[in-house]
Amino acid sequence: MDPLFIIEKFYTPGTKLYQILVGHSRIVTEKSLEIARNLTHLNPDLEFIKKAAMLHDIGIYLTRSESIGCSGEAPYICHGYLGRMLLDEHGLHPAYGLVCERHTGAGITKNNIMSSNLPLPQRDMVPISLEEKIICAADKYHSKNPKHADKTISTIQIIEKLGNINKNHAKRFSIWAEEFNL
Ligand SMILES: [Fe+2]
């Protein structure tokens, strides 16, 4: 399976959105592989990570986010589970869709969805597999927003930012940061 072949079914090469998506996805793939290569004792699936990290944000075009050129209908927070729907409909192994669904924030719990009234299906969307955790963590080190895309983001900054959204996000990320030596 070639992730770019799938991306190009939904995004037109040469457009701003394609460049933002593919540029970001490549950076997240590299970061995920860097993390995974330091975790050989946990035996992460590098071939899966290479493809799943490229596809993790495929749902963004269905959402609204002016700063990155998305003009879809759904709130931006929906891009994870919508990406899962796209990949599932495409007949990919369900593991790929789960990476999409579980990568926003540091994962989102059903509790969090209900208590904050988030516009998401009411189920746990928290990374479970090692590969899901690695890709979710790697994603936090790079912003798709062209204004911030060149900035280096530190682990401390990520924890602070997640803590402003929800303390549990910061807690989950901190555990991964320790586990993965980030
Ligand atoms: Fe991402």
Q: Mind listing the pLDDT tens digit of every residue in the chain (182 residues)?
A: 999 999 999 999 999 999 999 999 999 999 999 999 999 999 999 999 999 999 999 999 999 998 888 999 999 999 999 999 999 999 999 999 999 999 999 999 999 999 999 999 999 999 999 999 999 999 999 988 888 878 889 999 999 999 998 899 999 999 999 999 99
Tell me, in angstroms, the distance from the centre of ligand 1 to residue 146's CA: 13
User: Do residues 131 and 52 lie in contact, with contact meaning Cβ atoms separated by under 8 Å?
Assistant: yes
Tell me, in angstroms, the distance from the centre of ligand 1 to residue 59's CA: 10
3-state helix, strand, coil in the chain (%, to 5): 60, 5, 30
Task: Please report, for the domain that includes residue 133, its CATH number.
Answer: 1.10.3210
Q: Which range of residues forms the domain containing residue 108?
A: 3-179
Tell me, in angstroms, the distance from the centre of ligand 1 to residue 113's CA: 20
Tell me, in angstroms, the distance from the centre of ligand 1 to residue 57's CA: 5
Tell me, in angstroms, the distance from the centre of ligand 1 to residue 137's CA: 10
Q: Any idea how long the chain is?
A: 182
How far, in Å, are 2, 3, 81, 137 from residue 9 at the CA level? 12, 10, 18, 27
CA distance 138 to 51: 14
pTM summary value: 0.95
Q: What is the 3-state secondary structure (H, E, C) of 2-28?
A: CHHHHHHHHCCCCCHHHHHHHHHHHHH
Residue in the block written with tokens 């602070």: 160
Radius of gyration over every alpha carbon of the chain, rounded to an integer in angstroms: 15
User: Domains in the chain: how many in total?
Assistant: 1
For residue 42, with 0-12 CB atoms within 10 Å meaning exposed, 13-18 middle and 19 or more buried, which class applies?
exposed
Tell me, in angstroms, the distance from the centre of ligand 1 to residue 117's CA: 23
Tell me, in angstroms, the distance from the centre of ligand 1 to residue 56's CA: 6
